[in-house]
């Protein structure tokens, strides 16, 4: 599977694409993982091969503080996790990754009084 790229292929990117293809990841997952790793590398300012546990921790904090949604943050970290775990085999860094849970939205429940009041206002 060949991913269309506007980014030059580095040896690390080529290895990651090969690893994703070998694991039969679909085009959307591959694009998402590559985008996540590009974002991590841009934030890091150097190759992810040189990342430290603190870099991973601070990148996650950066995502949270920059206001990205929990879903986007988790998706980004899933891509970074693939790079670290599969391509780089850096399990020490993978251990630093955590996922956030989406808050459960509690449905609005009206009291009996509020229901009665609403029904009195309706024609």
CATH topology of domain 11-121: DNA polymerase; domain 1 (1.10.150)
Per-residue model confidence as pLDDT tens digits over 41-79? 999 999 999 999 999 999 999 999 999 999 999 999 999
pLDDT of residue 110: 73
pLDDT at residue number 122: 58
pLDDT, residue 109, reads 77
Burial class (CB in 10 A: 0-12, 13-18, 19+), 70: middle
What's the pLDDT score for residue 37?
96
Q: What is the model's pLDDT at position 7? A: 61
């Amino acid at each position: 599977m060949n991913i269309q790229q506007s980014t030059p292929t580095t040896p690390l990117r080529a290895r990651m694409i090969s690893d994703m293809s070998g694991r039969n990841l679909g085009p959307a997952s591959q694009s998402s993982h590559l985008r996540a790793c590009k974002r991590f590398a841009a934030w890091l300012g150097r190759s992810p091969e040189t990342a430290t546990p603190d870099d991973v921790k601070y990148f996650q904090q950066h995502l949270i503080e920059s206001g990205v949604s929990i879903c986007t943050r988790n998706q980004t970290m899933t891509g970074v996790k693939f790079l670290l775990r599969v391509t780089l085999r850096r399990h020490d860094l993978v251990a630093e990754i955590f996922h956030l849970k989406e808050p459960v939205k509690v449905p609005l429940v009206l009291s009996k009084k509020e229901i009665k009041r609403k029904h009195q206002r309706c024609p």
